[in-house]
Structure 1
Amino acid sequence: MTQAIVTLCTCPDRNTAEKIARLLVDGALAACVNILPNVMSIYSWDGKVESAEEHLLIIKSSTQNYQDIETVIISHHPYELPEIIAVPVELGLPEYINWINSCHASK
């Protein structure tokens, strides 16, 4: 069985977030994508401290799909350097983890 992962990605607006989320789920690359609106990000960019209100994608998938997820995000994201961070799921309800891992096989 492949490892389940959660990938985080911030988007500048709801339309971008929804577009990427739908591409990932419709393409069977992610079992589920949550969109959290109104996330305030404070970050360093080009030597300055910046801030922006963003939408956070929480993408549940398997490691098997990570490269394709990264490709979709990069292809449809307006940022020069989008946040794409994947972390392994160490524990979780076994049935839910099995569902995440089975979603890529459904298409």
Structure 2
Amino acid sequence: MRAAVLHCTCPDVATAERIATALVEERLAACVQQLPGLRSTYRWEERVETAEEVLLLIKTADDRIPAAIARVQAMHPYDVPELLVLEVRDGAPAYLDWVHAQSRPDA
């Protein structure tokens, strides 16, 4: 069983909460942590921008990644939402089993 953490930023707490809740309710993720207070600096449309954001750390089974990404993209207000997949190489077996079990559509 393999797992992944999806890294996604949101423009505000309400968006982060809506996406996190949907992913867990729809069993696309076992857990989503919300880290408010993130300050991002980035280039967008030829300008350097700075924004306050909320970081989501989305824990899911590797075979649920495509569906989780599609769901986030459908719900996200950004034209190009940040979605990075961080592969989990190892971890506590019981926790990884839990992530896999909670990410099952048929559970």
Question: Shorter-chain TM-score: what band?
Answer: over 0.9
TM-score (normalised: structure 1): 0.94
AA matched with 1:100: V
What per-residue deviation string (whole Å, max 9, x for no partner) do you get for residues 85-106 of structure 1?
A: 0111012111111111111235
TM-score (normalised: structure 2): 0.94
Aligned-residue Cα RMSD (Å) equals 1.0
Partner of 1:12: 11
Unaligned runs of 5+ in 1: none
Q: Which runs of 4+ in 1 moved over 6 A?
A: none
What per-residue deviation string (whole Å, max 9, x for no partner) do you get for residues 22-63 of structure 1?
A: 000000110000000010001111122111000000000011
Number of residue equivalences:
106
Partner of 1:60: 59
Partner of 2:29: 30
Unaligned runs of 5+ in 2: none
What per-residue deviation string (whole Å, max 9, x for no partner) do you get for residues 54-88 of structure 1?
A: 00000000111111111111111100000010111
Identity in percent: 42
Partner of 2:74: 75
AA matched with 1:50: E
State the distance in 2 between where 1:72 and 1:88 align: 19
AA matched with 1:65: R
